[in-house]
Structure 1
């Protein structure tokens, strides 16, 4: 028996596990202190009424012989894929329901999609970045090249034709920085991918937070993208499905490697290794895309965006440098002068009892930066702001 030794190349602990351990130690030593958590990007608002109603109805259906469901369709139920296709159409984007694969979340698919690509591919990943992009490729022993995301390029790296890459990860709105690519910038990436015969893995998990219609919510709003991009979407932050688990991945029919359609490879992979999302969850997900559901989730998204606005106003008042927050639940701020990311983490935890995420956990270019999330209750955000101002 031999293990996959690539796992030994990973960091000893997943970033958020390390944070959880540090916070647990602090609360154990300070049981009377109220800790405000603005670190992990988990939602706090409950599922909207349209979703819970659908969950109840679907549960009842599963208890009746005539409406009971066993194994579902391989790509997800048609009723959900149709509503997702219509959702795209509402944002001036054409995606066929047969190009949509329902999954248990973007995180799973972003890792699992690598099954259909050879290990001998060079991967281009921005730094700083969501750790899953890096770790899943280390597990497969792929060569990773990093593109510099920094203050000079507003944390939106652009293609360099001197660099050859096969697989490109892009996330917009970005996690952790909150930065958003324009249509012109994404067009440059699509042109680069087509020129290099590369594929873009586009993470659109936070598309619902974009409030400016001139900014792209899908890479398929860019001409040529269907020939070079796979898009991953999540209902976790859009509709509070972090604990309910549902998302979807789009693999266009036009996307090919030579004569091989990637759609057929992904279908084969999913039918072999995945049994689909439960019927109950898919019915709940479909309720999100009804007029009633859209209005209700919009209210929750606006709640988080207002939290972000309060935080960015306070940081501006304090004279702190930051980006994000406008079209994203994440705010990426520069640490207090001279502090490393983990030093600032400890400083905020010890002095203000606020938990955030050290930027260095997202890559070397994250050193000296810190991520705050707008996912939280309003009173907690307001209290965090008071504590930040008291530190000045």
Structure 2
């Protein structure tokens, strides 16, 4: 008979009384006695069957003197010596003469680390055996609970190590973005006030995406919420200055951070030089999924603003939109300086789930 399933509960495992009584009617008598005690008898007549059962989940070993021969005794001693740290298998040994115990009993007691082996002399009252078995079963149940607690602690430590590793990775990633913003903003700044204003605004845009991601946890952000938060200052009365439309997709860490910065740069540029610098200027922002495997396509289109001309020098915003954003998202982008208004398009893989490249 093989051992029970791995997911057996503490109480059920502790109630399994393994009976090794190879001779006479002992096995059947003890089987009835165990059932009368409200416990679960598990017969194991042969040493091989006994070894398989003891390697699984069990509560108490009930063994007669005849079951403590040299070969079986050595096997039992090995089993008890190989127990995990939480385990000390209770053993109830029924002997015909306690003054002349079999040699295997000494090895058995040593393997059980003392105190877990109870010896009763036959004949003895059934109530005495039942009481001893119930007591040992309760002791075994406590051992199994300790095992489960140790497993939970080990799982908690593993999870904590994972969280610390994720925190380290995300903190370094966020600091890297801040340093990049600092360096590129300094390059284009004309004076300290200009630098401070631009740098603060860009870090705030980054913080917006960070907040939407639950403080940087591995959780998705809604692109609609990201657009509304990133462009809140530019939407205008009744949200008519910037009109946006697209499915409410989820974006993970890298995608949300990158698009938040891109939206901010587009809106800032439009407010300074483009469509949003004129009362009648408008912006249309759309996004969709295309193809199989799915690709994420986004378009920013301005109209009603001043006539557009391609800039003569590069800036943080143009670098982000042309190079940095598509590289971060493993995609490609284009900027079209149409006379009637700037157009920015981005195409990138859309990986639905917990991926980092959305």
Query: How high is the TM-score relative to the length of structure 1?
Result: 0.24
More helix by share: 2
Q: Which has the larger radius of gyration?
A: 2
Query: How high is the TM-score relative to the length of structure 2?
Result: 0.25
Q: Which has the higher contact order (CA 8 A, sep 6+)?
A: 1
